[in-house]
């Protein structure tokens, strides 16, 4: 393959103070020694005193300086938190769980006791937990039960620069809570005579501290002196269209030409990571004699937690570690040993295409990163010594990038947040937000909520809306669960929703084996489409046991696990997705119980009991109607020319080739999501009786 040519733009080397090389991960320092060697450790006393003295502090420091792991421990160890809990929020679940694991280790306490975490569908903490890592989404959800967050004495808003929707909502709520809990004191002053005052620490890795400080009426800004070594940046001479292939060639160029040191490759998502990992491993086996070995590992949201922790262990001798990561490794997680960074210049970003497509869900689009991300990625190469960054894009492309990302609140669907706020009697428009969302976007989200029956014609929250808000699900799927009550098929709807909500995809798609995969999976196909097909898979998976003849006893659990694994492998199904869905289902059952929804009601039990609510629908129709309530906005009608047109939007949609419905024509469909490539494709597609929509309209009228 041709080698890459790069222009050397050493002019933009990031130069900062050159500090002595800190102990690398391979040096045999104890974990407590490692803590003391972090850049933040020198400033410990001063930081603690400032945090003690101020209600709100803004803390700024280079990635890897120790903010996320150390600040919560400093606060805990200095007694600032009193008897309350210290919350540290993260935009990503993997970051929350992985950092909690690390800090539990540093505190020499098992995870889930002194140090715990709470993320959607997974939590590990108990009554003794004092340091709690959580996603920003989870703490916003906790507002529903405890609007003043009274069990927390300190809330640390980490990665604030990412400006996720949940972080913005949290910041607005914290501002309100500070007034309630600490009283109207002068900015920066300590809350006086309050029984349960709150402390807020806002942490960020980029230079936007003033904005946060101004938001909290001039809160004190603290800077942590970082240790950043110079990084030499190379831009590719031309823009690379196939960035996966180009990343692979660049990797081997580094591997063959340059001294040992680990390589970190930034890619937009899981699919690219998996495909690049496979090809690097393939070629690494065929390297000439004398070239060091290659060890690959990956870091992305949906990856197995055990595998994620591999990135922290040092490479064996004479081996180069190659870490493939999404932008999670940009600022949230610092991977030691990295000397070379390969930046594809791409990321996946949530984008709300409501207006473009006339109503719909958020989509994840692969797009160019921002200059600020590019600089962060580059900085990852210079943590332990001078480093190198290879950009798979030109110098001009870098200059054309946006400077920094827009806050999520101006580009995401607000339906779920508006619903949660309504439960607190709050209106998004009335909140003191750092950036206000677009009025169109609010309108469109209100329309969605109205269609779901979550708010009535006057905009007031309905009983059904309150029930929906209780589920940690997109409102569309919460609505399907709530609607399933009336059709007597909650059990089945939970099974399907759990698979849709799992972090990884159900079907394994290997290009070379696409046909054999389709063949073995054919038996799961349901004539109505993808939702019922998913249900068939879940049911079949549940039926797999170790061996029918073995009486259950010690060891059968493991045998069953491996039987399930083998069964999934044979059917090209992702075992991780199915077992995760099983856990999600259990959590959704708990929410059902709290809301008096009978989750054991299933279409199978129903036929024997002749349940009145079932309205006499066949199993599949009952289930599809439940989804129809949630996905009404995601529906399309067949046109005379054989294409589908959105019922509530202007666009023509095609059915995604991965769908079981892709070769069928039915009068009306519902779908989980739209994928935008050269055309608009609907994914997760099922048949819905066309008449459903007229009865649905009647149902809405009745509600109003």
Which listed option, ligand ADP, Mg ion, none, makes contact with residue 38 (CB within 5 to 8 Å by class)? ligand ADP
Which listed option, Mg ion, ligand ADP, none, makes contact with residue 64 (CB within 5 to 8 Å by class)? ligand ADP
Here the contacts of 670-673 (C-beta below 8 Å, separation 24 or greater) are 670/624, 670/627, 670/628, 670/631, 670/632, 670/634, 670/635, 671/631, 671/634, 671/635, 671/636, 672/361, 672/500, 672/530, 672/631, 672/634, 673/360, 673/361, 673/363, 673/634
Q: How far is the CB of 59 from Mg ion (least distance, A)?
A: 10
Q: How far is the CB of 323 from ligand ADP (least distance, A)?
A: 12
Nearer to ligand ADP, 70 or 504 (CB): 70
Q: How far is the CB of 413 from Mg ion (least distance, A)?
A: 27
Q: How far is the CB of 70 from ligand ADP (least distance, A)?
A: 6
Question: Does residue 160 contact residue 211 with C-beta atoms inside 8 Å?
Answer: no
* Residue 411 burial (CB count, 10 A): 18
Q: How far is the CB of 109 from ligand ADP (least distance, A)?
A: 15
Which listed option, ligand ADP, Mg ion, none, makes contact with residue 507 (CB within 5 to 8 Å by class)? none
Nearer to Mg ion, 71 or 451 (CB): 71
Which listed option, ligand ADP, Mg ion, none, makes contact with residue 65 (CB within 5 to 8 Å by class)? ligand ADP
* Residue 582 burial (CB count, 10 A): 17
Nearest residue to Mg ion, by Cβ distance, number only: 68
Which listed option, ligand ADP, Mg ion, none, makes contact with residue 98 (CB within 5 to 8 Å by class)? ligand ADP
Nearer to Mg ion, 206 or 659 (CB): 206
Nearer to Mg ion, 66 or 268 (CB): 66
Question: Does residue 660 contact residue 535 with C-beta atoms inside 8 Å?
Answer: no
Which listed option, Mg ion, ligand ADP, none, makes contact with residue 61 (CB within 5 to 8 Å by class)? ligand ADP
Nearer to ligand ADP, 65 or 236 (CB): 65
* Burial class, 698, CB count within 10 angstroms (exposed 0-12 / middle 13-18 / buried 19+): exposed
Question: Does residue 683 contact residue 672 with C-beta atoms inside 8 Å?
Answer: yes
Nearer to ligand ADP, 206 or 441 (CB): 206
Nearer to ligand ADP, 130 or 227 (CB): 227
Which listed option, ligand ADP, Mg ion, none, makes contact with residue 29 (CB within 5 to 8 Å by class)? none
Q: Give me the residues that bind ligand ADP (CB under 6 A), please.
A: 38, 61, 63-70, 98-99, 101-102, 309, 312, 334, 336
* Residue 611 burial (CB count, 10 A): 16
CA 115/CA 99 separation, integer angstroms: 10
Cα 261 → chain centroid: 30
Nearer to Mg ion, 160 or 169 (CB): 160
Nearer to ligand ADP, 314 or 356 (CB): 314
Secondary structure of 86-99 in the HEC alphabet? Answer: EEEEECCHHHHHHH
Q: Give me the residues that bind Mg ion (CB under 5 A), please.
A: 67-68
Which listed option, Mg ion, ligand ADP, none, makes contact with residue 39 (CB within 5 to 8 Å by class)? none
Q: How far is the CB of 654 from ligand ADP (least distance, A)?
A: 43
Q: How far is the CB of 579 from ligand ADP (least distance, A)?
A: 23
Nearer to ligand ADP, 34 or 441 (CB): 34
Which listed option, ligand ADP, Mg ion, none, makes contact with residue 312 (CB within 5 to 8 Å by class)? ligand ADP
Within 13 Å of residue 268, how many CA atoms lie on the same side as its CB? 18
Q: How far is the CB of 34 from ligand ADP (least distance, A)?
A: 7
Q: How far is the CB of 116 from Mg ion (least distance, A)?
A: 18
Q: How far is the CB of 119 from ligand ADP (least distance, A)?
A: 15
| Sequence-ordered list of residues with C-beta below 8 angstroms from that of 428, at least 6 positions apart, any chain | 414, 417, 418, 421, 437, 442
CA 103/CA 273 separation, integer angstroms: 28
* Strand residues in 439-589 grouped as ranges (E): none
| Sequence-ordered list of residues with C-beta below 8 angstroms from that of 660, at least 6 positions apart, any chain | 525, 526, 529, 530, 533, 685
Which listed option, ligand ADP, Mg ion, none, makes contact with residue 334 (CB within 5 to 8 Å by class)? ligand ADP
Which listed option, Mg ion, ligand ADP, none, makes contact with residue 22 (CB within 5 to 8 Å by class)? none
Can you give the C-alpha Rg of the chain in angstroms?
26
DSSP 512: G
Q: How far is the CB of 71 from ligand ADP (least distance, A)?
A: 8
| Sequence-ordered list of residues with C-beta below 8 angstroms from that of 245, at least 6 positions apart, any chain | none
CA 489/CA 498 separation, integer angstroms: 14
* Residue 54 burial (CB count, 10 A): 21
Q: Is 192 left (phi over 0), alpha (psi -120 to 50) or beta?
A: beta
Nearer to Mg ion, 67 or 235 (CB): 67
């Amino acid at each position: 393959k041709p080698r890459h040519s790069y222009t050397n733009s050493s002019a933009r080397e990031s130069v900062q103070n050159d500090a002595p090389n800190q102990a690398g991960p391979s040096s045999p320092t104890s974990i407590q020694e490692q803590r003391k060697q972090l850049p933040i450790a020198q400033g410990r006393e001063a930081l603690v005193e400032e945090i003690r003295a101020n209600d709100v502090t803004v803390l700024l420091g280079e990635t890897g300086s120790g903010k996320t792991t150390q600040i919560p421990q400093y606060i805990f160890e200095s007694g600032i938190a009193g008897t309350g809990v210290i919350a540290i929020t993260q935009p990503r679940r993997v970051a929350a769980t992985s950092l909690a694991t690390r800090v539990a280790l540093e505190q020499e306490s098992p995870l889930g006791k002194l140090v715990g975490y709470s993320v959607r569908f997974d939590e590990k903490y108990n009554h003794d937990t004092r340091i709690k890592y959580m996603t920003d989404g989870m703490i916003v959800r906790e507002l529903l039960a405890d609007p003043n967050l009274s069990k927390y004495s300190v809330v640390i808003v980490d990665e604030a620069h990412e400006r996720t929707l949940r972080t913005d909502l949290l910041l607005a709520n914290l501002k309100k809570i500070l007034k309630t809990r600490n009283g109207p004191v002068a900015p920066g002053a300590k809350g006086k005579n309050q029984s349960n005052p709150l402390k807020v620490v806002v942490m960020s890795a980029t230079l936007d501290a003033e904005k946060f400080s101004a938001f909290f009426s001039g809160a004190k800004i603290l800077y942590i002196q970082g240790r950043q070594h110079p990084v030499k940046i190379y831009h590719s001479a031309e823009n690379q269209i196939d960035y996966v292939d180009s990343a692979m060639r660049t990797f081997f160029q580094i591997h063959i030409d340059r001294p040992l040191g680990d390589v970190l490759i930034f890619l937009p998502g899981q699919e690219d990571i998996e495909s690049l990992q496979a090809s690097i491993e393939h070629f690494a086996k065929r390297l000439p004699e004398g070239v060091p070995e290659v060890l690959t590992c990956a870091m992305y949201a949906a990856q197995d937690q055990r595998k994620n922790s591999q990135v922290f262990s040092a490479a064996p001798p004479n081996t180069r570690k190659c870490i493939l990561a999404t932008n999670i490794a940009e600022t949230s997680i610092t991977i030691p040993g990295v000397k070379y960074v390969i930046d594809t210049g791409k990321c996946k970003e949530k984008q709300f295409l409501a207006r473009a497509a006339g109503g719909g869900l958020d989509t994840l689009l692969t797009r160019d990163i921002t200059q600020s991300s590019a600089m962060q990625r580059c900085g990852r190469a210079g943590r332990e010594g001078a480093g190198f960054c290879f950009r798979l894009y030109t110098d001009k492309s870098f200059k054309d990038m946006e400077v920094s990302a827009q806050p999520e609140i101006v580009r995401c669907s607000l339906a779920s947040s508006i619903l949660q706020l309504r439960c607190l009697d709050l209106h998004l428009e009335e909140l003191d937000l750092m950036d206000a969302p677009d009025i169109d976007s609010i309108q469109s989200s209100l329309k969605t909520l109205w269609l779901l029956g979550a708010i009535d014609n006057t905009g007031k929250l309905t009983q059904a809306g309150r029930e929906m808000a209780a589920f940690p699900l997109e409102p569309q799927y919460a609505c399907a669960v709530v609607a399933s009550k009336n059709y007597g098929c909650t059990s089945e709807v939970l099974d399907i929703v759990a698979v849709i909500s799992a972090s990884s995809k159900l079907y394994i798609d290997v290009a070379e084996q696409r046909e054999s995969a389709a063949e073995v999976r054919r038996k799961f196909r349901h004539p109505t489409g993808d939702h019922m097909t998913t249900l068939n898979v879940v049911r079949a998976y549940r039926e797999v046991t170790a061996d029918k003849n073995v009486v259950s006893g010690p060891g059968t659990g493991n045998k069953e696990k491996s039987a399930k694994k083998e069964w999934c492998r044979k059917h090209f199904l992702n075992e991780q997705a199915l077992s995760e869905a099983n856990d999600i289902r259990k959590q959704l059952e708990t929410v059902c119980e709290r809301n008096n929804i009978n989750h054991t009601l299933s279409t199978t039990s129903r036929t024997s009991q002749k349940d009145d609510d079932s309205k006499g629908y066949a199993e599949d129709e009952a289930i599809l109607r439940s989804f129809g309530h949630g996905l009404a906005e995601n529906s399309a009608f067949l046109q005379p020319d054989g294409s589908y047109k959105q019922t509530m939007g202007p666009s023509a949609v095609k059915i995604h080739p991965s769908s079981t419905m892709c070769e069928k024509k039915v009068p009306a469909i519902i779908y989980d999501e739209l994928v935008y490539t050269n055309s608009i494709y609907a994914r997760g597609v099922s048949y819905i009786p066309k008449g459903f929509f007229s009865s649905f309209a009647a149902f809405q009228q009745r509600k109003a």
